Structure 1
């Protein structure tokens, strides 16, 4: 009776439509999943319909792009918020616009050394999808610069390369408060993923808890064991929700759906704290 609470579809940077992500969860033997595309809820309807057809539980969600005052990228998972909440949607619209400008700037830098154009990048972005670095990686694969997304990130798209461009976003504190205002349940994603770049400190995590952080994604392949222990300690001290998730992107990442998961008790607690949107399906 396990649930994967962090998955992506073509509505952001996954490689499959929302319905296929749900089907993948069914094939993996999961009881349910959360669809958490980057800075958008556009895939909710299709995912809900697919989950109902396959008799799975669907937790509508979103992964919000944020940035601390000292420049650390933080991704915040929001579960069961009101998708029409004006303040949250305004912030997301700003984030989506910032993603486009950032992608264009990275593309310009890549074009100095490789046969990459913005038109090629756009060919790999689904209709109304949230654009991100994975789409730039797909363009690099298409023109033969790299073999896959993983190689593109390892060599050219990670922080520290001359091609990388940071993005201005709302802070995690602001995002947490907006999610709570929208009736959602905010959980920080892969907070100790040091291989991705700088990670937040314990004092910063404590500030997020004070702002209303509900949980921490502990069991994620990018969280090393010491980081997991730190997050579990934080969760124990503040009675936070501790989740496990895959961060599934279809063929866009090696992450397998359900490779880390959460029990029914965790999903029940998320549902009990939410007032913005319902879960779909019977636990």
Structure 2
């Protein structure tokens, strides 16, 4: 069984519609896919319909933008009730922060002599609810300012670059609790990739486990082999579920093809068991798996 628990559609910053993503996952030989768009569940229904058509097991998820000790951390939430009031309100706040970030970045780009409009960004994003820096990058590509997303980030949009603007994000510890209250389970996405490792050392991962964190994404393209080995040892020590994923974005992220990293079936079963327990504790109507 081949299981990929982290992928994005054009509802956030991927380049494939949810149904296209699901069909591509099935064509690539995956048996299970989690759709985890940034800060929104808007892709779930379309993806579920496609999964039933092609015979793929679909796990409904979200990649939530959070912050911990001043650093951005991405939290994967699986199978929460999207109508849970606290979860719903926090996601709306993050999405509002995304929307307000766009004009701030455009203002910085303008000061650099790059004239880009909100309409051009909306066109590049397909008017998704979860507008982000990748859509600004796509608009810069369309405008001919840069060759591709990578150049846009390297020149303008990465932290420390001249057009970067920090974003609104939920508190990590609070969000772990909220996801559990909504009947879901949480996994830290690429915890030792990018800058997150500075605030997610082994001791902190243990503390988060005690607060309700279910697992960590170990097998990810941001993690070199030695880092994966270290993280597995941390996961064993703290009894955390270990996942592996592509973090696929279609054409929007090079080197993250569907199934390039996968989750061991035993770990997947552990994750589902934890989700069943969380659902029972919450007493809420959480979404079922779409089972092939």
TM-score by length of 2: 0.92
SS of 1:37's partner is strand
**Unaligned residue ranges in structure 2 (runs of 5+):** 280-285
**Unaligned residue ranges in structure 1 (runs of 5+):** none
SS of 1:236's partner is helix
CA contact (8 A) 2:72 2:196 kept: no
CA contact (8 A) 1:9 1:43 kept: yes
CA contact (8 A) 2:95 2:129 kept: no
- Sort the Cα spacing of 1:278 and 1:257 in 2 relative to 1 into closer, same or farther, 3 A: same
Q: Distance in 2 between matches of 1:203 and 1:269?
A: 22
Q: Distance in 1 between matches of 2:131 and 2:200?
A: 25
Q: Which residue of 1 aligns with 2:263?
A: 262
- The farther-off stretch of 96-105 and 71-80 is 96-105
Q: Distance in 1 between matches of 2:147 and 2:196?
A: 20
Shift of 1:272: 1.4
SS of 1:278's partner is coil
Shift of 1:115: 2.3
Shift of 1:103: 2.0
Shift of 1:41: 0.5
RMSD, aligned CA: 1.6
Q: Which residue of 2 aligns with 1:86?
A: 85
Q: Which 4+ residue blocks in structure 1 deviate beyond 4 angstroms?
A: 195-199
Q: Which residue of 2 aligns with 1:214?
A: 214
Shift of 1:197: 8.7
- Sort the Cα spacing of 1:103 and 1:204 in 2 relative to 1 into closer, same or farther, 3 A: farther
Q: Which residue of 2 aligns with 1:181?
A: 181
1:106 matched to 2:105? The reply is yes
Q: Which residue of 1 aligns with 2:60?
A: 60
- The farther-off stretch of 191-200 and 45-54 is 191-200
State how 1:1-283 maps to structure 2 within 5 Å. 1-68=1-68, 70-113=69-112, 114-194=114-194, 200-254=200-254, 255-274=256-275, 275=279, 276-282=286-292
Instruction: Say how many residue pairs are matched.
Output: 281
Shift of 1:126: 2.2
- Sort the Cα spacing of 1:237 and 1:196 in 2 relative to 1 into closer, same or farther, 3 A: closer
- Sort the Cα spacing of 1:197 and 1:152 in 2 relative to 1 into closer, same or farther, 3 A: farther
CA contact (8 A) 1:111 1:117 kept: no
Shift of 1:101: 1.0
Q: Distance in 2 between matches of 1:165 and 1:136?
A: 12
- Sort the Cα spacing of 1:199 and 1:159 in 2 relative to 1 into closer, same or farther, 3 A: farther
- The farther-off stretch of 226-235 and 40-49 is 226-235
Q: Distance in 2 between matches of 1:32 and 1:8?
A: 14
SS of 1:123's partner is helix
SS of 1:91's partner is helix
Q: Distance in 2 between matches of 1:38 and 1:121?
A: 17
CA contact (8 A) 2:108 2:163 kept: yes
